[in-house]
Structure 1
Amino acid sequence: MKICTTIASSSSLDLEKQIKQAFADGTNFVEIRFDYLPLSEMQESLRIANSFRNKAVFTLRPDSQKGKFSGSAHERVNWLKELSLSRPMLLDVEYDTLINHEELVDFLTDHKARILVSWHDFERTPANESLLDLIGQMRIYGNFLKIVTTAEHIQDCIRLLDFYKVVTNLDLILFAMGELGVLSRILCTIYGNAPFTYASLGKSVVPGQLTLLEMRKLYEGMIL
């Protein structure tokens, strides 16, 4: 039952402090959201992040995916390459980014980058058949997949958790956002076999995200 805490710092000055706080509070891993940082501070932030890279997911989310990166698509691809060269535990790259930038795929392959292929639906949870097709397409790019949908009904959580029974030979992280998706965030590492789930350090970064301390308290209660 491992937890990855999202670090959405708005300055390099706070970045190291927040990362250290997350580990002090018991997180297993951190997700460093480089898109929340000013472009002028990216290089310094990467230097700081490198000290934690073996237990970190590096993410640079575009605005089309509810991210904060303010540069061009070309700049983002170049930064993804730069982030990959630091060899983090995982580099989160959106499925859409991979299918639209073959040169990035070639670069990541040539440099043997460990990538987390991600996909988000901010409105709904697609039908099971669509999700199975999506998983089949995403796994072409790597063994670590992250699919996050939006729960409209509690049954969406149950449907997603059932995928862990049928999808094998993958490190799959699958849960739903929103208040109705909280159950899937908690149980994806228990009922499912997700390598980790996500939490926030303080204020939620996405709808339905619990804090690290809340998630730890829930997990510790389940163990007892």
Structure 2
Amino acid sequence: MKIVSIRDIHVGEGVPKIIVPLMGKNVEQLLLEVNTIKQAAPDIVEWRADALEEIDNLEVVKETLSTIREALFPTPLLFTFRSHREGGNKRIEDTYYKELLENVIQTKAIDLIDVELFSSNVIEIVETANANGIYVVMSNHDFEKTPAKEEIVWRLRRMQELGAHIPKIAVMPKVPTDVLTLLDATYTMKSLYADRPIITMSMASTGVISRIAGQVFGSDATFGSGMEASAPGQIPAEELRKMIEILHTN
């Protein structure tokens, strides 16, 4: 198993890591969030840049990133622009998605970059990340349904094939058995195919158990909310840590 190590955080080893999102619309809101979530001692902080009002201005993005990085260091930082088709806040062209991610990667002010599996420039972005020493969290989000187990496993395996350091998938359950499908797929991926950490979750209130107990089936990290949740079903990070540590120690 390849471990993703960022300073003293080792994803894929020990207790599952807790990732907390920043959802502010501007620098002032983001700094307020940073100061608040520090109290929860997240393992990794995710900047959901699709919430930024001036996301179409690369200079503003880079200046904001620099400010966040300075305020958070040494906590590892994951940069994410979640596309509108996968539940994000803004619509942008695929060409700008590539330009945005590559510009952010080249600042080297982040530790990890989220790259969506079905983006049209996924291979080029992964190459840029590798050239700059940035880890790739390759992701897929289905807000409509939970695909069949075989499809979930295929998507995770495809991410691994494309060079993801951490494959990640989130799906929406319609019924409780959909959560079992996601957890079964997680276990199959982890036990048969994965040679690196993976992150999986079932969303909304029905899927909350997957955010707490995903580690039992092979998920190496989970997302907890800070001041604002970035997806339905997220638990406040401080509460989530207590639950995960109880499961891990028992």
Provide TM-score, normalisation by structure 2. Answer: 0.79
2:111 corresponds to: 89
Matched, 1:200 2:215: no
Cα distance in 2 between the residues matched to 1:60 and 1:77 = 10
1:43 corresponds to: 62
The alpha-carbon deviation at position 165 of structure 1 amounts to 3.1
Quote the sequence identity (%).
24
Partner AA of 2:82 in structure 1: R
2:134 corresponds to: 113
Cα distance in 1 between the residues matched to 2:126 and 2:243 = 38
Cα distance in 1 between the residues matched to 2:38 and 2:113 = 19
Give the 3 Å change call, closer, same or farther, for CA 163–70 of structure 1 in structure 2: closer
Cα distance in 2 between the residues matched to 1:35 and 1:218 = 30
2:41 corresponds to: 26
Matched, 1:182 2:208: yes
The alpha-carbon deviation at position 140 of structure 1 amounts to 1.6
Cα distance in 2 between the residues matched to 1:212 and 1:70 = 29
The alpha-carbon deviation at position 32 of structure 1 amounts to 0.7
The alpha-carbon deviation at position 27 of structure 1 amounts to 1.8
2:182 corresponds to: 160
Deviates more, 1:157-166 or 1:130-139: 157-166
Aligned match for 1:63, one of 55, 79, 84? 84
The alpha-carbon deviation at position 31 of structure 1 amounts to 0.8
1:78 corresponds to: 99
Give the 3 Å change call, closer, same or farther, for CA 44–214 of structure 1 in structure 2: same
Cα distance in 2 between the residues matched to 1:172 and 1:192 = 11
Give the unaligned 5+ runs of structure 2: 1-15
2:32 corresponds to: 17
The alpha-carbon deviation at position 185 of structure 1 amounts to 1.0
Cα distance in 2 between the residues matched to 1:205 and 1:198 = 9
Structure 1 residues 135-177: Cα deviation after superposition (integer angstroms, max 9, x where no partner): 2211122231110001112222222223343323121101111
Partner AA of 1:111 in structure 2: N
Give the 3 Å change call, closer, same or farther, for CA 89–193 of structure 1 in structure 2: farther
Matched, 1:129 2:154: no
Cα distance in 2 between the residues matched to 1:106 and 1:186 = 33
Cα distance in 1 between the residues matched to 2:38 and 2:207 = 25
Partner AA of 1:177 in structure 2: M
Matched, 1:144 2:184: no
The answer to whether the 8 Å contact 1:150/1:176 transfers is yes
Q: Secondary structure at the match of 2:33?
A: helix
Root-mean-square deviation over aligned CA pairs: 2.2
Give the unaligned 5+ runs of structure 1: none
Q: Secondary structure at the match of 1:49?
A: helix
The alpha-carbon deviation at position 94 of structure 1 amounts to 0.3
Q: Secondary structure at the match of 1:74?
A: helix
Partner AA of 1:44 in structure 2: E
The alpha-carbon deviation at position 68 of structure 1 amounts to 2.0
Deviates more, 1:157-166 or 1:173-182: 157-166
Specify which structure has the bigger relative contact order, considering alpha-carbon pairs within 8 angstroms and separated by 6 or more residues. 2
The alpha-carbon deviation at position 101 of structure 1 amounts to 5.0
Matched, 1:5 2:20: yes
The alpha-carbon deviation at position 14 of structure 1 amounts to 2.1
Q: Secondary structure at the match of 2:67?
A: helix
The alpha-carbon deviation at position 221 of structure 1 amounts to 5.1
The answer to whether the 8 Å contact 1:12/1:44 transfers is no
Cα distance in 2 between the residues matched to 1:77 and 1:84 = 11
